[in-house]
A and B are shown apart, each in its own frame.
Chain A
Amino acid sequence: MAFREKTAWLTLISMLVAYTLYFGLIVGGHPAGYELFAMLWLFGAISLTQLVVVIAGSLYLTARTPKEERARPDERDRAIGRRGAAAGYYVLLIGTIVAAVVMPFLESGARLANIGLFALVTAEAVHHLVILTSYRRGWHG
């Protein structure tokens, strides 16, 4: 498996674990679902942990991969990256529109922020999924 594919897997899996936990807690009635400070603390703690995991995992993968395998991205890597970014952009756009539509009906800023965060996380997950699918199944840009 290519180095870039491994780092994409690392980011995707850590994201899915971290934000499944975050949104799972919110659905389960955690105060982060309706109180701004609780939301900031929970989201901050979970995203910081995820960041540390991604950095540590990337360092581990870098150390274990020969230098020639970590070559600069070429035209295929860039094309796949652009495809992932474009797919993520459309998901984010839809999420932003949904947030804007429901905004007048929400009494809590935390709920709106969570809808926005959900859109961001989903867009980022789609971004990495498209990248992984393109590496696995091929890409004819």
Chain B
Amino acid sequence: MIRAKRKTGLVFFPAFDWAISPTHPEREERLLYTQDQVMEEGLLDVPGIREYRVRPAKYSDLQRVHFCVPDEPSMATESHLISAGGCLVAADAVMKKEVESAFALVRPPGHHAMKVVHGNRGFCNINIEAVMVEYIRDVYGVKKIAIVDTDCHHGDGTQDVYWHDPNVLFISMHQDGRTLYPGSGFAEENGGANARGTTINIPLPPRTGEKGFLYALEELVMPLLEKFEPELVINSAGQDNHFDDPITHMNFSAKGYAELNARLKPDLAVLEGGYSVEKALPYVNVGIIMAMAGMDTSTVKEPGYDKHYAPQAPDITDYITNLMGTLKDQFLINPPAPHPAKNGEIITTSKRIFYDTDMINENQDERLVRCRDCAGALAIDSHSSKGNKMMGVHIPKDACPMCQKMAEKWVNEALDNKKFHHIFLQDRTKCTYEVLR
């Protein structure tokens, strides 16, 4: 009799009635064959694997994370709410100890959605992992959380949301940004002034194979997790590193994904990208579910594996060995030094963000309080090419009195400034979100 060694929850939401456009990679058909394979394998009958029904997230769940401009209803459709809600269901199942781990196999994905949302970037509107993390913090009081993003694309949205948060360790393994959307995710991007070293980027070369991914995991990711000591580990389980994926150039396999998951042992996994809908996703997902459940995955193999999978080339192995040496030095041996600014100093930065799906340009001017006691108050002055001008003020969860005061000052300044169409105050200490204009 088969049985899951670890009790595993599964939230499956293929959204068979939603697509970005009829021929878009993010379309109705995407999880069709995954569903076929999961059902045919009889995975949901395995004792110890439990399927949960999705529920839609509320707008207030999104407000813990995002500044949606102009508002939540225009940025999040029903499908986004259900996809995010699926993650909340998975979180509840784990936090209430009904299962040891859970996998939210949902779409649409979310890891390119940043803190401020003017539209769709990289198929994402709402950052479903971040919505889940903030929910877990508010409802279950968990403080230290690690997110390991194994999607082929840099998880720039999640990085942006947690850039200033020293209590969330964000690690992204992805295809080098010089060769793939969104073009970011370099080792130098290592966290904001108050959160140095809690953002880690591992840009892997195209053609990285099973060996390279597992090497990076063992050499860097696992030691970093050990050092950070998170209460929860979340896997952004994008599946587009697969050798058959049509929009990336990596060389990973179902076996590899299963092995990676078995070693990482995440408490929660959330599906992100993955667009080889027929030849990869069905097998990768079956592999991940079985690995999470502690089952033997040695019989999971995509039909094209023997013909189309080539082991990692020696030059790639050499490159990755060198890269890991450098990154280990940067993050484990000589971790980044704290930001030199004095306590209470205001640090300003500017950035431009491009929304590829919706063709929107956004300009952001950010002010952050350099703070040794908390994650620091944050003010984002954002305007988009759609014409929306917004001021969003964020008070972090454990904000010190100085930062709370500064946030109050920024809000008052914004209220005096007629240029802003929208002013939002996200106060994570009180778990409130105020629309002030």
A and B co-occur in one complex:
no
List the interface of chain B (C-beta within 8 A of A): none
